[in-house]
Structure formats: structure tokens, C-alpha cells
Structure 1
């Protein structure tokens, strides 16, 4: 992609225009990081770009943006511009084509306001971005409050950049974020969710969590997290402190690379504890009866409110609903345990259980038991093919219905527990223990 972007720059330059790499790709190059995209800023107007690159798409003509397709890559080419007022707190009402100097001034942070001329191997810095890169400092360009008033989403972007890059946020920039945090509500929840997800999937996610909470941003779109503060837990099980401390500690114990359902289940697994907290009148012991089931309901509501896709919501809800089941795994019959371990979300749930234990009492006996059980059963499928199918029962005179479903479950249980090992044994068991129900009984079901 970099080579393709340089080809675009070369052609624009040969046509008499100024053309430079711009923004995040320059920042990442100077940090020795791999850039995801290579954007080009140029003095050429969109019409001039299209004339040089027939078939280019003017996806953002109002903002002077053209997508050039070359060498099976797409390169965003934007005309140097100055922005007008931002009446909606998200996008400029108007733009004026301008110079590289003015274009740099309209951008969000100094580290994103850099240009690079690949033909001259020269960094062009009008905003002091190189110095801030060296210091590991995230600083808004110009007056910080003005930059955030222009585009409220920049507050969440600041948290994301500080998290992902491990940078400090410059004082005036941070103060402006804290002062303007309620305005993040004007941004669509989809855009908020996108920045939030990028922050929480970073290996440095605890840093992002702290910045979101301390800035007041978390309160605006996920206020339920703040309710966890001060929610006491029984010290014999949770010596680490309240539910908020426990949740934050669990985040810190996750591996660097995690799935989104796992991160969200860590954040939300105890979300219902404040609503279910009780104290025994005699002993004073704190209890949270039913916090898993209510928590699953709350998790679904929160994630639907934030418009997460169903393939993220469903495993997260399942993990929250089942996180207390792990305390009973040693008592489960073999069939129930194998069904529990065979569920598609089990690996993430097991990871949730591990950090739940490590972030509280440190008791990993059930976790170790499950690891040993998985090793013991590794030579065969957790749920092997059934000895008997519905078709086999229909051939014996059964009719489809609830009764046949119950029988199939019973047969699978006996198979998983080793009582039945072959199809012949299963058919014999059916003949001896499960006579075909009367047809009228089947129809009534």
C-alpha cells in the first residue's frame, strides 16, 4: 500500500501538484509501527485528481476526498483544506481548499498533523508533532477546547491514541476533555462504540479504562460501570475490594490478545451486583443472589443500546449468565460437564473464570480441574456423534415430538457417561426401556 501511495504522489507531483503522505501513516512510520492506511494530501482539486486517475471515486467531494484505485489498492487522496464552523459537533459545515500549513492546523492532534514527502525523504511538521512523538505526548493542535468543540468524537479518539500508543495526554488537552465530556452524547452511539472497542481491545486496555472513567466519558455512554464503585463485596471471597476494583483488576489480568466478547464479559459480568446486593441480618454477610441472571439481562440491554452486533452480544450474555456455574463443575455428572464444555463460547468463558478467580480469592481449583478434564478428553470429540438419531427412532415406530427429543437426550447422556457404547446397545436399551408411545399421546404433544 505504501508503494501504491508513492506512485500516486509521484504522478501528482509530475503533473505539477504538491502531494504528501499525511496523518496517521506518517505518525506510525516515525514510531516504527506498521500503518493500516496510507493517505495522500495534495494541492490538486478532486477534479484534477480524477483527470489524472480515471475511474477514481469522489466519495467525499464536499470535503475534497477522492479514492484512487491502483495496483489493487485504494488510496485516499484529499485536497489541502481549511474547515469552516462545525455546527453539529462532528463535521465542518464547509471547507475551503488551502495550503499544507492550513491543512495541518485543522487536524486533531499534533502527532496526526505531520506530512512526509517520500520523494525527498522529508518530514514536514507545522505543528510540533515530531517533538510530541519523542516525548510520548498527545496534544491537541492549537486551542484544545476548540478542537473538541469542532468534533466531539475527538475526545474518545484522544483516549484511544493515548491507550494504544501509551502516550500521556497534555494537560490542557486533558482538561478540555474532562470539561466537555457530556458533549460526547451528541455523537452517534455507533461511532462511540467503535472507539470504545478499539480502546478495550488494546493490550493497554486498563489505561484506556482509567482514562474513560476519570475523564467523565464512561459516565456518558456506559454509566452502569460507575455504579460498581463502592459496591462492597464479602472480604473472605473478595479481599481486593469493591466490584469496580475487582472488574478493573480482571481487565489487567487478561492476555494482550483477546476476543471482544471476552472483554465485554469481563466488564459486565458483575454489572448486576449493585442491584442484587443484600446483607444477612444476623451475620452481616453480603450476598448477590441472582446477579448472574439479572446481569445477563442487563448485559443484553446495554449492548443492544450500544448497537453491538448479535454475534458479539449473544456469547457475551451467555458468559455473564454462566459465570457462576463454574463453581459447580466438580459436582457435575459427566454428561452435563461435557455438554457444558462443548459449547462454542466455552474457551472465552473459561478465560473469564480464570481472571475472575485471579482478581479475587485466587482459587483456581475449578479452572485447573477443567484444564485437566479437557486434556483427558482430548482424544475424542467433546460431544461424539450420537449412537442413535431421530431417523433411527422413527424407523422403530416413533413420531417426531417432545417425547422423542427427551429420549434422544437420555440416550446421549447414557452414551456420554459410558453406559451405552454402540448403536446396537442403544437400540436394545430403547426396546427394553422406552416403548413407542401411543400415537394419540404424540399428536396431543
Structure 2
């Protein structure tokens, strides 16, 4: 077996070996190489202690000395080199209470999460695979190293990581691993929202993300991570336009969207408030009035809880709140207002979400309304028709200069003018708008 190593990685291994230390590439880079993929990162493990590593290379960064990690810089590339180590108990299900260095690669591999991540390699010894990770790669199995409950009690995030690897690689969780996640799922409460968020995002960016979300639900993790979404499981819609329950509908929408995190987050939460918006009419038909607004509100709470950045939260919530707009033909002025609310930078994402949503409805599917909306919106944008106050031929300073006092009145008048211009773009003329502004101000003073 021969893994092609980048020159810088080979140099680090050779330097360590020539100085009588053991050294291997380890973990994900070995796994990906065996799968025929190009590794994103090359992690190196060695018997050398951190201070010994730092003596051997011209440029190093002491990134995690307590845990034995030194970053070696070769030709402006950064490589993490970590001393073989074993770990003590994990009191918090997140971090080892103590780390001990060892000279034994087998002991180091035994502390790792899954067999497919517990392989090491160098040119002289070839593959070190004491937990049969290569066999599990070949049979497409995600299996814990040793006792699954011990691994999950060490770091409860490993339960989501198991599901993430299963989703990314299209592998199966082995029975013992699945059973252990179900047994230990409450431990996920000890994990930071940031770490959970990062794994969730990786699941959402897989080619078929519903696999991972379904596994989260099956193993009981979803009720701790996304209890709002968990309430959608099995919630029947009792609606002639829907043949799936809310959760199954959401999974189909999710799988049909492009691999864009903003759109996928919007797809995941676009109907999350449906259970609490449900009503049934006298004919037995279910309705979810204003569910898009309530789902947007719930999504904002969820995304904040998961520590997403403000820009992501804003964009996702816009898509959710507007995903029902344009389901019926809109007049031109309404399309302009939609563009202004959504933002031109988010329009295509909205159309992609709407198309995916239609595909998850009861067949037959027609996309004519969305295509028509997209075409009309593109025309409005290409013609640079006024959509916002900043597009008006006048601004607040102009209103002050003609005698309108500073304050709320300026904003009220500008918004009234914008409404008029959206209905009739020909009114966007400086003299016309100034005259209209004075008329509006006169009306306001009368009131």
C-alpha cells in the first residue's frame, strides 16, 4: 500500500524519523486517502515531545502544548504535529481531565473515535490499523473504537459526528454504535451549541442531508438539538395539497435544494411552526395560516441558540418569511415590494426554496408561477426601477431644504413617495416628488 504524501508532509515525517522519533500521518487524511479522496488537512502524530518537535523545525507555532500539538510551518503551509497521547476520564463529556504523552502509537489510536479515523501511515511501516478501520471502510460501516458508550461519555459530540460521517460517506452506523447513541443521547446537553452547530452544518451540506436529520431523530438526539423540528415528526397536514406529514415534507424540501447553507437552513425551518399554527375547517381540511411568519420567528430563536452569525440569521429568516409570497400571480408593484424586502442578493435563493417546496407538495407539480415571478423580477432589476427610498430622485436633505422639519415626518413622507413611485415609476422626478412632498406635509399638518 502506498499513499502519496505532499512534499511538505513527507519532509516533516522524514525529519522526525531521521532524528529517531516515530512519525505517521493519522486520522482523516489516512481515511480520505484510502477512499481515493484528496485530504483537506494532513495531521501528523509522533513520539517526539512538543519541545523536541519545536527544536527540529525552523518555524513552529505552539498552538496546543498542553495537548501535545505544535503547528509546523513549511513553505507557508501549516501542519499540526501532535505527540502520541492517552487521555484520562472526561468529567464533562467534552474534555479530558488530563492528557498523558506516550511513546506507543497503538495507545494513541485507541483513544480515537471511530475505526475509520484510527489508522496511521508512514512509508516504512505502511498502514497501522489495529482496529480494522480499512475493513470498515470497505464494508461502509461507522463503528466506534472499543466500547461505544465509553467513547460517547468521553466526548458526547461524537454521537453527532457518527451521524455526520454516516451521512457524508453514505455509510451505515453499526448496531452497537446506534444502540449506544440512543442510550446516551441526553449527554448531548453537555456540548456547546457552537460545536453542535458546526456538525449540523456539515450534515446539511451533504448530498442527501435528510439521512443525517432522520438519524438524529431516530437516535433521539433531535429532541435535544432541535425540539421545534422534532414536534413536526408525524404531524399530519390534512390538506389536499400535501401527501406528507410536516417532517417528511421538510426532509423532501431539504434534499431538493442546492448545496447552499443559507437555503438549506431555510428549508429545514421553513415550516417549523406549522404544528402550532394548525387549524381545521368544517370540511376537515387543515390550514396553517401565517405559518411562514411564525416559522421565521422560531427560526430566528433556533439560529440564535445555535450561535449563528447575524447575517446568516437575517438571510435565512427572510427566505422563510417570504417563501409563500408569489404562490399566486402578483402585480408588478407587489413584485417590486417583494424584491425590496428580500434583497436582490437573496432573490435566487428564494426562488430555489420555492421550487423545492413545490416539489414536496402533492403531484402534479407546476413551476410556471415561480418562473414567471423570476422573469418579471429580473426585468424590474435590469431596468433599475426604484425599489427603495435610496432610489428616489430626492432625499431627506431635499425635504429639509424646502421647509419640512427634521424628525419622523421626513421618513413618513419619503415612504409615501416611495409607495407612489413603486406604483408609477414615472413619478420619480425631482420636481414632481418635491411638489408631492409639500402636499403630503400639508395634509399631515392638518391632522
Q: Distance in 2 between matches of 1:422 and 1:189?
A: 49
Q: Distance in 2 between matches of 1:332 and 1:287?
A: 28
Contact in 2 for aligned 1:330/1:366 (Cα 8 Å):
no
Cα deviation 1:297-332 (Å, max 9, x = unaligned) = 222222222222211111222222222223355245
Q: Distance in 1 between matches of 2:400 and 2:10?
A: 68
Unaligned 5+ residue runs, structure 1?
A: none
Q: Please, which moves more after superposition, 391-400 or 161-170?
A: 391-400
Q: Distance in 2 between matches of 1:222 and 1:116?
A: 39
Q: Distance in 2 between matches of 1:402 and 1:336?
A: 22
Q: Distance in 1 between matches of 2:188 and 2:440?
A: 64
Aligned pairs (5 A) from 1:162-201:
162-201=166-205
Query: In structure 2, do the counterparts of structure 1 residues 332 and 6 end up closer, same or farther at CA, with 3 Å as the change threshold?
Result: same
Contact in 1 for aligned 2:257/2:267 (Cα 8 Å):
no
Contact in 2 for aligned 1:181/1:216 (Cα 8 Å):
yes
Residue 405 (structure 1) aligned to one of 405, 411, 414: 411
Aligned pairs (5 A) from 1:247-258:
247-255=250-258, 257-258=259-260
Residue 97 (structure 2) aligned to one of 77, 93, 99: 93
Contact in 1 for aligned 2:417/2:437 (Cα 8 Å):
no
Query: In structure 2, do the counterparts of structure 1 residues 322 and 374 end up closer, same or farther at CA, with 3 Å as the change threshold?
Result: closer
Q: Offset at 1:269? A: 1.4
Residue 62 (structure 1) aligned to one of 62, 66, 71: 66
Query: In structure 2, do the counterparts of structure 1 residues 205 and 436 end up closer, same or farther at CA, with 3 Å as the change threshold?
Result: closer
Residue 381 (structure 1) aligned to one of 381, 384, 387: 384
Q: Distance in 1 between matches of 2:330 and 2:443?
A: 41
Q: Distance in 1 between matches of 2:440 and 2:428?
A: 21
Query: In structure 2, do the counterparts of structure 1 residues 102 and 321 end up closer, same or farther at CA, with 3 Å as the change threshold?
Result: same
Aligned pairs (5 A) from 1:213-252:
213-238=217-242, 240-252=243-255
Unaligned 5+ residue runs, structure 2?
A: none
TM, length-normalised to structure 2: 0.89
Q: Please, which moves more after superposition, 87-96 or 167-176?
A: 87-96
Q: Distance in 1 between matches of 2:18 and 2:132?
A: 29
Residue correspondences, number: 436
Q: Offset at 1:250? A: 0.7
Cα deviation 1:220-264 (Å, max 9, x = unaligned) = 1111112112322133221x2211111111112112x21x23212
Contact in 1 for aligned 2:116/2:142 (Cα 8 Å):
yes
1:154: which partner in 2? 158
Q: Please, which moves more after superposition, 190-199 or 80-89?
A: 80-89
1:290: which partner in 2? 290
Q: Distance in 1 between matches of 2:39 and 2:404?
A: 62
Q: Distance in 1 between matches of 2:270 and 2:436?
A: 46
TM, length-normalised to structure 1: 0.90
Residue 370 (structure 1) aligned to one of 354, 373, 381: 373
Contact in 1 for aligned 2:116/2:137 (Cα 8 Å):
yes
